[in-house]
Amino acid sequence: MTAPAPRSLVGIFLAVLGGLAPSDAQIEVWHIGKGGLAWVSQAETHFGALDVDGALQPLKLLAGENLIELLRASGQRFLNGQPRDFILGGQPRAWSNDGFFNQISGPLDLIDGDPATSSSGVFKTAQSQAGATFFWDLGAPFPVNRIRFFPAPNDDAFVKAFELRVNDGENFNDINRPQYEVLRRVEVNRESTVDIEFAPLQGRFLQLLVLSKTVFNIAEFEIYGQGFVPVASYVSVLHSFGGPVNYGRLRVHATQLGTGAASAAIQMRTGADDSPLAYFRRDRDTGRQEEVSAAEYNTNLPRRSLYRQDPDTGELLEELDRADYLTLPIEEQGPVRDFVKGDIRDDVNNWSAWSPSTHITGTGTIEVPIELPSPREFMQFRIFFDGDAENAVRIDTFQVEFSPGLVSEAVGEVALATDPFPASGLLEVAGGIDTTFTYDIRTEFAEDVAGYRGVRIEAFPPPVFETLQMGDPLAAVEDFEWAATESGFDLFFAPVAADNNQPLRITFRLRLLVHNTPINAYLLGAGSVPPHPIAPGNASELVGTNATNAFVTQAQPELQLALSTAIISPNGDGRNDAVEIDLVLSQFAADTAVAVEIFDLSGRRVRQLVSQPRPAGFYAETWDGRNDYGALVAPGLYLCRVGVEADFDVFAAVEPIGVAY
Q: What is the pLDDT of residue 235?
A: 95
Q: Report how far residue 549's alpha carbon sits from residue 545's, in angstroms, rounded to the nearest whole number.
A: 9
User: Is 2 a member of any domain?
Assistant: no
| Terminal-to-terminal C-alpha distance of the chain | 64
For the residues 99-124, what does the mean pLDDT come to?
95
Q: What is the pLDDT of residue 26?
A: 82
Are 360 and 264 members of one domain?
yes
Are 611 and 510 members of one domain?
no
Q: What is the pLDDT of residue 8?
A: 28
Q: What is the pLDDT of residue 19?
A: 32
Residue-averaged pLDDT of the chain: 90
Which helix (H) or strand (E) is 11 found in, with range? helix 9-17
Torsion of CA 296, 299, 301, 304, to 10 degrees: -80
User: Is 573 a member of any domain?
Assistant: yes
Boundary-marking domain end, from 346, 372, 390: 346
Structural domain count, the chain: 5
Q: Tell me if 227 sits within 8 A of 389, measured CB to CB.
A: yes
Are 458 and 501 members of one domain?
yes
Long-range CB contacts for residues 72-75, cutoff 8 Å, separation at least 24: 72/113, 74/46, 74/50, 75/40, 75/43, 75/46, 75/50
Q: Tell me if 162 sits within 8 A of 208, measured CB to CB.
A: yes
User: Is 1 a member of any domain?
Assistant: no
Are 504 and 540 members of one domain?
yes
Boundary-marking domain end, from 318, 346, 374: 346
**In Å, what is the CA distance from 121 to each residue of 118, 143, 221?**
9, 33, 17
Q: What is the pLDDT of residue 86?
A: 94
Confidence of residue 14 (pLDDT cuts 50, 70, 90): very low
For the residues 464-484, what does the mean pLDDT come to?
95
The more confidently predicted of residues 32 and 425 is: 32
Are 244 and 270 members of one domain?
yes
Confidence of residue 25 (pLDDT cuts 50, 70, 90): low
Q: Report how far residue 23's alpha carbon sits from residue 496's, in angstroms, rounded to the nearest whole number.
A: 13
**Model confidence at 5: pLDDT above 70:** no
**In Å, what is the CA distance from 223 to each residue of 49, 166, 169, 200, 312?**
18, 12, 16, 12, 72
Q: Write the DSSP assignment of 227-242 as a string of letters.
A: EE-SEEEEEE--EEEE
- Within 301-371, residue ranges assigned H as helices are 322-326
Are 74 and 139 members of one domain?
yes
Q: Report how far residue 635's alpha carbon sits from residue 657's, in angstroms, rounded to the nearest whole number.
A: 11
Give the residue numbers spanning the domain of 647.
Answer: 558-659
Are 83 and 32 members of one domain?
no
Confidence of residue 24 (pLDDT cuts 50, 70, 90): low
CATH, residue 186: 2.60.120.260
For the residues 582-604, what does the mean pLDDT come to?
87
- Say whether pTM exceeds 0.85: no
Q: Report how far residue 426's alpha carbon sits from residue 423's, in angstroms, rounded to the nearest whole number.
A: 8
